[in-house]
Amino acid sequence: MSEDEFSLKAGVRGPTLMEDFHFREKMTHFDHERIPERVVHARGFAAHGEFQLYESMSQYTRAKFLQDTSVITPVFVRFSTVNGSRGSADTVRDARGFATKFYTEEGNYDLVGNNIPVFFIQDAIKFPDLVHAFKPEPDNDIPQASTAHDTFWDFVANNQESAHMIMWVMSDRAIPRSFRMMEGFGVHTFRFVNEQGKACFVKFHWKPLLGTHSLVWEEAHELAGIDPDFHRNDLWHAIENGHYPEYELGVQILAEEDEFKLPHDILDATKIWPEEIIPVQTIGKMTLNRNVDNFFAETEQAAFHLGNVVPGIDFTNDPLLQGRLFSYLDTQLIRLGGPNFHEIPINRPIVPFHNNQRDGYHRQTINVGKVNYHRNSLAGNTPAPASPAEGGYQHYQEKVEGRKIQARSKSFADHFSQATLFWNSMSPAEKEHIINAFSFELGKVKSLSVKKQVIEMFANVSLEMTKIIAKKIGMPPPTSGGSNVKEASPALSQQNTIFTPVTRKVAVIVTNDFNGPEVKYVIDRLAACGLMPEIISENQGEVLGTNGVKLNARHTFLTARSVQFDAVYLVNASKTNKAFNKNAANFVNQAFSHYKPIAATHQGIQFFALNNLNGQPGVVTGYDVRNFPDEFINAIALHRYWDRKLV
């Protein structure tokens, strides 16, 4: 086209002509650019990567991508919140989706999970009710991306199977520090089937090599306002900077003959298999090493489906899993405009596929020949099914018998024991956070009846916990309840995870006339150990130190906040800018109040002394700059100092 700024008109000031096909085509395309967002998991972000096996799993499964340790399998991973719309914030209190598409030599395998290993409900028929309850209330469409409202907690109180999941959602697990520091779980019990047709039960785990870490609630709130793309930014920039997120794939395996040996039903999606009873076996590693080229074409059009399996992986009779097998396929038809969504490049297998499917919206495959049916003689009866020996998928031949019935198995009736197990497993700080989360959410509930029902319900989890919550929300304490469960599972506490300083962001507050050689030595040492120091100063651009040392300030206090960093290093103050010094003090004090490591050298030490910060846990002062970096790095590795006395 020779012109793309002006439409075709009858005279310079005349009407636009219908003849202008370029205008019509451009505008029509624009008018139809939007597709329906996902009902749940609408807010997502994704990256490409690869998966490599540590050890062959051939004794358990015939899946080819789990056989050969030399094979590298491409993957595409989409992280998401569950509740909010596409435009909501990243850091809201919510479960997170963790969906992985393996592009294997046998076709695509989708492991569609969450960062929480259990779910709210046991049977998929209740999923619409759950989602209706946690979405904004229908009369006024408020609140967005939040469960702190009446309808959600009314659902919880009247669907008590949700107790275990609620404990996780009220914990720090629901406000992760980063997608890179978040576990993933397949949630359901699946089956592995080996070459001999022998099956075992399996649960899937993703374990981040940076450990499992979280924000504090006040940080999550503030980030939702100043940086609603916080998790997106974190993942994107980590990959761009070569800090590739890594996760180990683990499996819990249970022999078929041991199906009924656990104290709960293994088909119940509201239950975990405690890792102390059935250890997680680490079998491979996934590395995310490439950002998407186009968000819509890849992340938004990615279609995950639990029914995308490969030979050697099969399903169980988990009623929530069975329902998802229908729903995930069904939802793509409206979102992506028909049955050919598997032909969109991001969803297309990397191996050829042959079938008799034809036509439909957005068909991309150009099939040749006149045969589109089976069986046939005109094309030599092709395409033809492959036998199991030829790699064809074969459903596990489980013996099934029984009367048709709409009921819940009695083995699904225990709703509270594992919720109590979770509570017992938490550290004192984590327990305090759970109590505060309940108090915030229920504090937003207007119905006294709903509040009373929730208090009575969670008294069955912990009487101690619920009495404190009741007091905080102005409700009478429960008079009965409690639990006989005394066991704990240390694996459930985030205090028992990997602690490393690698990729942690450090705010370096510095102004002109700083001690050039010493400060540069500290910053270089932090960077060399895998940390990410970023300079905050009076103005963006060069900051001049002694001996000709120059630093580049990416931020001022207008463009950065303490909550966007994992640690703070205060170097000096401004001789002329009192506003800068006040902002620096607020920056340091907020980091301190969020239990983060803070450090000072040079003039910064004087500020720490004046504010009674010295000697507190996680506070490092560099009187000897040679030893200071390592002391600070060691402090950053521990991330939070919950025993700190806030002043």
For residues 47 and 36, the answer to whether their CB atoms sit within 8 Å is no
C-alpha to C-alpha distances, 398 to 191, 314, 350, 401, 568, nearest whole angstrom: 11, 11, 31, 10, 58
Nearest to 494 by CA among 110, 210, 195: 210
Within 10 angstroms of residue 338's Cβ, the number of other Cβ atoms is 13
Distance CA 94, CA 83 (A): 7
Residue 465: exposed, middle, or buried by beta-carbon count in 10 A (0-12, 13-18, 19+)?
A: buried
Residue 87 phi/psi, 5° resolution?
Answer: -95, 5
Quick check: is 583 catalytic? no
For residue 375, is the peptide bond before it cis, meaning its omega torsion is within 30 degrees of 0? yes
E strand or H helix at 448, and its extent?
helix 448-458
The set of residues, in sequence order, having a beta carbon less than 8 Å from that of 412 and lying 6+ positions away, is 122, 161, 265, 267, 268, 270
The set of residues, in sequence order, having a beta carbon less than 8 Å from that of 192 and lying 6+ positions away, is 57, 60, 61, 63, 199, 200, 201, 202, 253, 312, 313, 314
Distance CA 229, CA 88 (A): 9
Quick check: is 114 catalytic? yes
Active-site annotation holder among 48, 83, 108, 114: 114
Distance CA 462, CA 306 (A): 35
Distance CA 442, CA 373 (A): 58
Active-site annotation holder among 41, 164, 213, 555: 41
- Tokens 């029984």 correspond to 402
What string of DSSP letters covers 582-611? HHHHHHHHHHHHTT--EEE-THHHHHHHHT
DSSP lists the bridge partners of residue 246 as 287
Distance CA 307, CA 111 (A): 10
Within 10 angstroms of residue 138's Cβ, the number of other Cβ atoms is 8
Active site residues: 41, 114
